[in-house]
Amino acid sequence: MFVMHGGAGTITRQNLTPDMEKQYREKLEEALRAGHAILAKGGTSLDAVETSIRILEDSPLFNAGKGAVFTHDGRNELDAAIMDGKTKRAGTVAGVTIVKNPISAARAVMEKSPHVMMSGRGADLFATQVGLEIVDPSYFWTERRWKDLQRELMKENAASSHKGTVGAVALDQAGNLAAGTSTGGTTNKKYGRIGDSPILGAGTYAENESVAVSCTGTGEYFIRWTVAHDIAALYKYRGMSDHPRREGQLRDAVQYARDVSGVGRGGWRAARADL
Ligand code: GLY
C-alpha cells in the first residue's frame, strides 16, 4: 500500500487553472508510481517513501525542496522527517538551507548518526559531510513563492500561509510501515520557526503496531495536539475494527486542528498494516 499527499493549502477551483491542475496531477502520479514500483518489486517502505518525496521536492509545484516558501527574511528554511514503523527509528531535520533533498537528510540522520533531530547549520554541515547533494540557497528561489511572501508582507498583521507540504506513507511486502513528510513551512515564518513536519508524533509518525501518518496543515496546531501520535493511539488503544467507524473517529482526531487553525485547513494520510 502506498499513499501520498501534496499538502493542504489555498489552492481552490477558482485559482487553479486546468494547466496547473494537470501539472500537479502528473507530478503526484509520477511520485506515486515511483513509490508503488519500489513496493511492487519487494523494496522497503522507507525506500518508497524517500524516493517519492524526493520527486516532489525536486518540483517547484510543492512547498518542499525546490518549491519551498520563503521566511519573513526572504530565506528558505526546510524541514523533513522520516520514520521506520518496524524499529521506530527516525530522523528529522529542521531549518536546513542548502540540502537539495531534506527527506534524504532526515534519513541520513536516522541511519548515519546516533541522533534523531538536527537543525540549522549543524544539519546542513552533517548533510554535507555524509555526501548528500548540496545546493546554493538561491536554488530554492522561485518567483511564485517570492510573490507569495511579498503579498504576505503587504498585509498588516500578516498571518503565515501554507501550501503544499508533501508526505507519503507506505506498507511494504514484509509488513513494515514507514512515514515521511517534507516542507518549506509557512510563508513569512519568523525567528527560526519550526513546524510539525519534523516533529515525531505531531506531523509524522510510524509504528507497525498501529499506523504510519503524515500530516499537512498549520503546524502549530498539529504540534500542540500531537495529531500524528493521537491518530496512532486511536488505532492502538481503542482497538478499532470497524472501518467506517474508525474513519469517523480519525476525522474527529484532526478536526480540532482544522477548527482552531483559523485557516481551516489540515489533513493527514495514514496507512495501516491490516487495511
Ligand atoms: N505543516 C507544515 C508546517 O506547518 O510547517
Model pLDDT, residue 94: 98
Domain ranges of the chain: 2-272
Span from the CA of 115 to the centroid of ligand 1 (angstroms) = 22
Q: List Cβ neighbours of 201 (8 Å cut-off, separation of 6 or more).
A: 226, 228, 229
**The CATH number of 2-272 is which of 3.60.20.30, 3.40.50.880, 3.40.50.620, 1.10.357.10?**
3.60.20.30
Pocket of ligand 1 (CB under 6 A): 162, 165, 183, 185-186, 195-197, 203, 216-219
Identified catalytic residue from 165, 181, 204, 216: 165
Residue 199 sits at the vertex; the CA angle it makes with 233 and 158, to the nearest 5 degrees, is 115
pLDDT tens digits, one per residue of 203-243: 999 999 999 999 998 899 999 999 999 989 888 887 654 45
Q: Ligand 1 atom closest to Cα of 222?
A: 1
Q: Which of 208, 209, 216 is nearest to 180 (CA)?
A: 216
Beta strands in 47-119 (DSSP E): 78-84, 90-96, 117-119
Q: Which three cell numbers stand for residue 239?
A: 482497538
Residue given cell 519573513 in the structure block = 72
Residues 66-112: pLDDT tens digits? 999 999 999 999 999 999 999 999 999 999 999 999 999 999 999 99
Locate all alpha helices (DSSP H) within 113-204, ordered by sequence: 120-129, 143-154
Whether 165 is catalytic is: yes
Atom of ligand 1 nearest to the CA of 220: 4
Conformational region of residue 117, where left means phi above 0, alpha means psi within -120 to 50, and beta covers everything else:
beta
Please give the C-alpha separations between residue 155 and each of 90, 151, 230, in angstroms, as whole numbers. Answer: 38, 7, 35
